[in-house]
Chain A
Amino acid sequence: AQSVTQLGSHVSVSEGALVLLRCNYSSSVPPYLFWYVQYPNQGLQLLLKYTTGATLVKGINGFEAEFKKSETSFHLTKPSAHMSDAAEYFCAVSDGTSGSRLTFGEGTQLTVNP
Chain B
Amino acid sequence: NAGVTQTPKFQVLKTGQSMTLQCAQDMNHNSMYWYRQDPGMGLRLIYYSASEGTTDKGEVPNGYNVSRLNKREFSLRLESAAPSQTSVYFCASTPGLAGSYNEQFFGPGTRLTVL
Partner-B contacts on A (CB < 8 A): 9, 32, 34, 36, 41-46, 49, 51, 90, 94, 96, 98-102, 104-107
Contacts and interface: CB of A to CB of B under 8 A. Distances in A.
A99 B101 contact: no
Interface of B: 4, 30-31, 33, 40-45, 48, 50-51, 58, 90, 92, 94, 96-104, 106-109
Given A32-B101, A45-B106, A99 B31 contact: yes
A105 B94 CA distance: 19
Main DSSP-derived SS at the A contact region? loop
Contacts of B31: 99
Given A90-B43, A101-B48, A107-B42, A42 B101 contact: no
Contacts of B106: 36, 43-45
Contacts of A36: 106
A46 B44 CA distance: 17
B61 to A, nearest CB: 13
Contacts of A99: 30-31, 48, 50-51, 94, 96, 102
